[in-house]
Chains A and B, each alone.
Chain A
Amino acid sequence: MLNIKDLYTAVENKKILEGLNLSIKAGEVHAIMGPNGSGKSTLANILAGRDGYQVTKGSVSYQDKNLLDLSPEERAREGVFLAFQYPVEIPGVNNIYLLKAALNAIRKHKGESELDAMEFMTLVKEKMKLVQMNEDLLSRSVNQGFSGGEKKRNEVFQMTILEPKLAILDETDSGLDIDALKIVANGVNSLRNDERAFIVVTHYQRLLDYIKPDYVHVLGNGKIIKSGGPELAIELEEKGYDWIN
């Protein structure tokens, strides 16, 4: 599904990723770990198409397309979803209208019929329960006045509605207590199937107790310096990152 080959990136002429390789098949969950500043969010942003991140070398193919050729909105319509590490507040843009428009843009792109208000609300109610979203957050402006935890939950809520093919969760677990963490994991697990892939960026092994990854990768020096199964995360938790170098 996703094939990252020898990727080099720079932000404002600062080199960040230097020769990263990663291959992900449909149905897989890949955890990416690594110390602060190792480039995890950079990778997530590159995949979602944020301006200002230059790819100086290498390639990224996604479902046999050159991902780097697509605009962020085209990627979203093709099924790429990024749950942001720091979801931005957007005063004046309604949470639920945005989500409905997003869903319908994606459905239209897939050649599916658009949902009307009733159908959409039925879907919303169902998913809200799943991630225990407070109803009054729906009618507010995007993330405005949300607590840190509510913002993260809103990201997962959006993900469960949009049903992406490739979901990238950037430290969605940071700052969450154990109950919230379980809810987030629940949202992810409900979407897991053979056609969908996940990249779960995290600092902590504890999230991986609830979302069982197929692979764990460690990012360092701009590339993946170690890969393994779930046991690698446990080892990292015990020994820290220095042990790898």
Chain B
Amino acid sequence: MEDVIKNYSADFMQLKNTKENDWFSKQRQSAFDIFQESGFPNTRVEDWKYTDVKPIAKNTFSNITESNVASDNNEIDEILIKDLDCVNLVFINGTYSEKYSDIKNISSKIVIKSMADALINDESLLKKHLTKHINQELNSFTALNTAFIQDGAYINISANTNIDKPINITYISRDSNHPFATHPRNLIVMGENSNATVIENYVGSGKVNYFTNSVTETVLLQGAVLKHYKIQQEGSSAFHIASLNTSQSKDSRFESHLVSIGGALVRNNINASLNEEGAEIIMNGLYMTEDVQHVDNHTRVDHLKPHTQSHQNYRGVLNGKSRGVFNGKVVVHPQAQKIEAYQNNANLLLSDDAEIDTKPELEIYADDVKCTHGATVGQLDDDMLFYLRSRAVDEKTARSLLTYAFADEVISEINIKEIQNKLERLIIGRLPDSSLIREYV
């Protein structure tokens, strides 16, 4: 472990030297101190009980992002959502790519730019928000991210402003001659009664050994609505640790849709803070795993005030020797009366060797609340299988179709057709025997 921290220290020194007079350097330093002190979490820590991050810790990643990593139009075309008219921000190996991004022609009431740019030019706004909306005590991955912030997306929507086009943030990880870590940092500030849609798409290719350690902070002022989509399709040997944080004022509404299919070792954290009355969060999630993938989904909702609502619906499809985790924690603070918290986690195990640990956690300190939670783990339904087969569908196709239908319950909640279609194609591509079901979907 010592050696590992040493490697991060060396990189941190290098970064510090290049950003010596930076207003942010003090925060970097204190974040790095936290990381250095706590190191990576081990499985004795309750929150990391099911997920051992040793495989990440034992790698020596380079933490300084390279610029000018080449890509090509075909690859980018494949990744972007072609038929969706959106504002694109593209990052390659952690660095903003001007070539593939398109953030021109945006109204003056909206700021969309790279974090690298914002760190230099938007000091006063960033000072107000950056690192201020991380709800949990700074965990070591978040601290590591803060220490190494180099790029990401900064979005600021003025009050009463509606941006029709979704903002599509794509993080691509490509071949490199050494293992590397990126620490994408996104900050989204939603003014009063503003409205936006943001997509975070993490993509990587097969054999590249890399580690994405991302943090997104969002602030929703009164009446703001943010729809957030995260697509995690990292390469099959990649590590992905990410946290999405919300800080929500009165009557704001956050919609989170997560589709997690890639990566070797993955942790998706969502921390929602419902700070004022009427704040609401919806969390839909789908994780699909195969081979020896490990995907851990952690959500935490803090109901701090009365009349706040949270609705969580997560589904998992697990194949091969893969392992999934769902840990959903809801904390209802004293005084937070008349809140509603709903949580459901359903899992489909497609093989005998796949495993799921599902753990709802409720901490309730108020007495007039509506909380429900449920978790199921099962195989495909025999009655459904027989019904389909009795209608001339062969068994393999019927299994594939029912698996698709199970996963699609989450995707069908997405009301932007182009995103829905893209995700449906993605999950179909991940099904066993997917070529068989084309005529049914």
Q: Which A residues fall within an 8 A CB radius of B? A: 48-52, 71-73, 75-77, 81-82, 84, 87-88, 90-94, 97-102, 104-106, 109, 141-142, 158, 162
Question: What's the minimum C-beta distance from B250 to chain A, rounded to whole angstroms?
Answer: 36
Can you pick out 8 interface pairs between chain A and chain B where the beta carbons lie within 8 Å of each other? A72-B390, A73-B395, A90-B387, A92-B406, A92-B408, A98-B440, A102-B392, A141-B405
Compute how far the CA of A197 lies from the CA of B67 in the bound complex, rounded to whole angstroms: 74
Number of interface residues of B (CB under 8 A): 26
Are A94 and B440 in contact, CB atoms less than 8 angstroms apart?
yes
Residue of A with least CB distance to B393: A73
Complex Cα spacing A90 to B382, Å:
11
Q: Does B439 contact A (CB under 8 A)?
A: yes
Within 8 A of A (CB), among B256-295: none
Name the contact of A158 in the complex, choosing from B391, B393, B412, B440 (C-beta under 8 A): B391
Q: How far, in Å, is A160 (CB) from chain B's closest CB?
A: 14
User: Given the complex of chains A and B, what is the CA–CA distance between A82 and B392 in angstroms?
Assistant: 11
Q: Is the CB of B392 within 8 A of A88?
A: no
Closest chain A residue to B406, Cβ basis? A92
Please state if A76 and B390 are interface contacts (CB–CB under 8 Å). Answer: yes
Question: Given A51-B382, A98-B440, A100-B439, A90–B390 Cβ distance below 8 Å?
Answer: no
- Which of chain A's residues have a CB closer than 8 A to the CB of B404? 92
Inter-chain contact B389/A73, CB cutoff 8 Å: yes
Contacting residues, chain A, for B441 (C-beta < 8 A): 94, 97
Q: Which of B389, B395, B402, B439 contacts A90 (CB 8 A)?
A: B402
Question: B382 to A105, Cβ gap below 8 A?
Answer: no
Assembled-state Cα–Cα distance A105/B409 (Å): 26
Known contacts: A88-B383, A90-B388. The answer to whether A105 contacts B405 by CB under 8 A is no
Q: Which residues of B contact A87 (CB under 8 A)?
A: 387
Question: Which parts of B383-428 form the interface with A (CB within 8 Å)?
Answer: 383-384, 386-395, 398, 401-402, 404-406, 408-409, 412
Contact between B402 and A93 (Cβ–Cβ < 8 Å)? yes
Whether A98 and B391, one on each chain, are in contact in the complex, defined by CB atoms closer than 8 angstroms, is: yes
CB <8 Å contact, B401 and A93: yes
Give the residues in chain B near A162, CB-CB below 8 Å: 391-392
Decide if the interface of chain B is mainly helix, strand, loop or mixed. Answer: helix
Whether A92 and B390, one on each chain, are in contact in the complex, defined by CB atoms closer than 8 angstroms, is: no
A92: which of B383, B387, B389, B412 is its contact (CB, 8 Å)? B412
Q: Mark B360-388, 1 if CB is under 8 A from A, else 0.
A: 00000000000000000000011110111
How far is it, in angstroms, between the C-alpha of A71 and the C-alpha of B382 when the chains are bound?
Answer: 15
Q: How far is the CA of A101 from the CA of B401 in the complex (A)?
A: 12
Not counting A87-B387, A90-B387, A141-B405, a sample of 15 additional A-B residue pairs whose C-beta atoms are within 8 angstroms of each other reads A48-B390, A71-B389, A71-B394, A73-B392, A73-B393, A73-B394, A76-B389, A88-B383, A90-B384, A90-B405, A92-B405, A92-B406, A93-B402, A98-B393, A162-B392
Q: Which residue of A lies closest to B401 (CB)?
A: A93
Instruction: Tell me how far the C-beta of B350 lies from the nearest C-beta in chain A, rounded to whole angstroms.
Output: 16
Most chain A CB neighbours (cut-off 10 Å) among B404, B406, B409, B439: B439
Partner among A72, A97, A105 whose Cβ is within 8 Å of the Cβ of B386: A72
Known: A51-B386, A73-B389, A90-B387. A97 touches B405 (CB 8 A): no
List the A residue with the shortest CB-CB distance to B404: A92
- Least Cβ distance of B409 to chain A in Å? 6
Q: 9 tightest CB-CB pairs across the interface, nearest first?
A: A92-B405, A72-B389, A76-B392, A105-B392, A102-B391, A88-B383, A102-B392, A73-B389, A92-B408
Q: Compute how far the CA of A94 lies from the CA of B402 in the bound complex, rounded to whole angstroms.
A: 11
When the two chains form their complex, are residues A92 and B386 in contact, meaning their CB atoms are under 8 A apart? no
Scan residues 186-242 of chain B and give those whose CB is less than 8 A from a CB of chain A: none
Determine if A76 and B439 form an interchain contact, defined as CB atoms under 8 angstroms apart.
no
**Is there an interface contact between B440 and A142, defined as CB atoms closer than 8 Å?**
no
What residues of chain A lie closer than 8 Å to B391, measured between beta carbons? 76, 98-99, 102, 158, 162
Q: Which residues of the other chain, A, contact B409 by a CB distance below 8 angstroms?
A: 91-92
Q: Are B392 and A93 in contact (CB under 8 A)?
A: no
* CA A99 to CA B388, docked complex, whole Å: 10
CB-nearest residue of chain B to A106: B392
- Please tell me which one of the listed residues A52, A81, A88, A141 contacts residue B387 in the complex, with CB atoms under 8 A apart: A88
Chain B residues within an 8 Å CB radius of A82: 390
CB within 8 A of A93: which of B388, B390, B395, B412? Answer: B388
**In the complex, which residues of chain A have a beta carbon less than 8 angstroms from the beta carbon of B401?**
93
Given the complex, which residues of B lie within 8 Å of A101, measured CB to CB?
Answer: 392-393, 439-440
Choose one: B383, B393, B406; the contact of A105 (CB below 8 Å).
Answer: B393
Q: Specify the chain A residue showing the minimal Cβ separation from B398.
A: A73
Tell me the nearest residue of chain A to B383, going by C-beta.
Answer: A88
In whole Å, how far is A91's beta carbon from the nearest beta carbon of chain B?
A: 6
Q: In the assembled complex, which residues on chain A have CB atoms less than 8 Å from the CB atom of B405? A: 90-93, 141
Provide the bound-state CA to CA distance between A102 and B397, in Å.
Answer: 12
How far does the alpha carbon of A82 sit from the alpha carbon of B333 in the complex, in Å? 55
B406 touching A98 by the CB < 8 A rule? Answer: no
Q: How far does the Cβ of B335 sit from chain A's closest Cβ, in whole Å?
A: 39
CA distance A76 to B393 in the complex (A): 9
Distance, CA A91 to CA B315, complexed state (A) = 14
Chain B: CB-nearest residue to A81: B390
Chain A proximity of B257: nearest CB distance (Å): 17
Interface centre among A82, A90, A109 (most CB of B within 10 A): A90
B384: chain A residues within 8 A (beta carbon): 88, 90, 93
Chain A's nearest CB lies how many Å from the CB of B439? 5
A71 touches B395 (CB 8 A): yes
Could you say which residues of chain B place their CB within 8 Å of the CB of A141?
A: 405
Instruction: Give the complex CA separation of A72 and B388 in angstroms.
Output: 9
Give the residues in chain B near A52, CB-CB below 8 Å: 382
A49 touches B412 (CB 8 A): no
Task: Assess the A98–B388 pair: CB atoms within 8 A.
Answer: yes
Residues on A with beta carbons closer than 8 Å to the beta carbon of B439: 97, 100-101, 104
B210 → chain A closest CB, angstroms:
35
* Chain B residues within 8 Å of A104, by CB: 439
Residues in A neighbouring B394, C-beta threshold 8 A: 71, 73
- Docked pose: A105 CA to B387 CA in angstroms: 15
